[in-house]
Structure 1
Amino acid sequence: MTSLLFETKRLQFRLMTTSDVENLLRIFSDSKAMVHYPSTKSKEETLTWIQWTLDNYRAYQVGMWIVEDKQTGAFLGQCGLVPQKIEGRIVLELGYLFLRSVWNHGYATEAATAVRNYAFHVLHVDEIISLIAPANNPSIRVAEKIGMTCEKEIEKWNKKILLYKLNRHERKEK
């Protein structure tokens, strides 16, 4: 059985496995890529992240997915849907995190667009959110490019976070 979920013009999305630890560590150990996160991650913490993702697959049928170059199969990053508890209810967060070496190639926007479409057209969810640090301008630009708007600032993970949101019924096709 293949773990391929879906594709775009340049990207393919597949389920994460424990064998992705070294590729994910290329992002998680990069202090510049992780500047808006609490800290970088060790190999052990990366394996914990993978296990958390696998648990999300089992419990919610979603999670972060591995994003690869469709032509070469090269690892580019991760993008997917993560269950988050916000104001007492579980909502799906569209998240994305890519290798710094592939930033500014449009991969995050292409991946986020594909995951947004998957959420709305395949999973039929009514809304998705993105939780973004106020200083994370590149992630804010991606969220806005796919139609999300900043709804409010919330307190999460002991810091202020912008809550971007998109409702399936209110969005304009892009």
Structure 2
Amino acid sequence: MKYLLEGEETERLKFRLLEEGDFRDWAPLFRIENVAEFLALDSSLSENELCALWFEKIFHRYENDLGGMNVLIDKQTGRLVGQCGLLVQSVEEVQRLEIGYSILPEFWGIGYASEAAQKCKDYAFSNDLANSLISMVHVDNIRSEKVARKNGMSLERTLENYKGTRANIFSINKNEWLARE
């Protein structure tokens, strides 16, 4: 569980593990147009089916030390605003550490994704979890691309068929991170 940020905080956010009781709060994410496609999920599934699949994937990661998404709680309101975390990914048969993030739509545009993603980056490099980090972003997901760029990442390349979709890989290495500090 070395990749999880349970108990970590930023200025506005607390990180904790996902719980079954978060389902009702998280399910509305899957009402948003293109969200299933952006998350490489089957868009023919219902909102509840997509949410159940999402939870299944996160719990599988937790149980197998593959990192995972942490729930983001607004410290001021106590509300669940999103999820962010470090994910062990296999990209073209190479294991890489990804910063993944998803924010509920009512909280878009106020910097939660960038704040949480930066915390994940700093945590990973400070704890020597990887020498480089990636964020994999569907080619049409401009909001997530902006978060990756704001997190100091640059476009490494585009995968034409990653889990059935086109994805841009944004990356930053530890030396780039150290130079910015």
- For the 8 Å contact 1:18–1:47, the answer to whether it is kept is no
What does residue 29 of structure 2 align with?
A: 27
- Any residues of structure 2 matched to 1:75-94 within 5 Å, and which? 75-94=80-99
Question: In the alignment, does 2:70 pair up with 1:65?
Answer: yes
What does residue 169 of structure 2 align with?
A: 163
Determine the C-alpha separation between the residues in 1 that align with 2:111 and 2:35: 16
Query: If each structure's helix is expressed as a fraction of its own residues, which one has the higher value?
Result: 2
- Any residues of structure 2 matched to 1:60-139 within 5 Å, and which? 60=65, 62-122=67-127, 124-139=129-144
TM-score scaled by length of structure 2: 0.85
Amino acid at match of 1:107: Y
Shift in CA distance, 160/61, structure 1 to aligned 2, threshold 3 Å:
closer
- Runs of 5+ unmatched residues, structure 1: none
What does residue 173 of structure 1 align with?
A: 180
Following TM superposition, the consecutive aligned residue runs of length 4 or more in structure 1 with deviations greater than 6 angstroms are none
- Runs of 5+ unmatched residues, structure 2: none
* Secondary structure of 1:7's aligned partner: coil
| Identical-pair percentage | 31
Q: In the comparison of the two structures, how many residue pairs are matched?
A: 172
- For the 8 Å contact 1:82–1:95, the answer to whether it is kept is yes
Note the C-alpha offset of 1:82.
Answer: 1.7
Deviations 1:1-26 (A, max 9, x none): xx942000101110111111111102
What does residue 17 of structure 1 align with?
A: 19
- For the 8 Å contact 2:66–2:88, the answer to whether it is kept is no
Determine the C-alpha separation between the residues in 2 that align with 1:41 and 1:84: 26
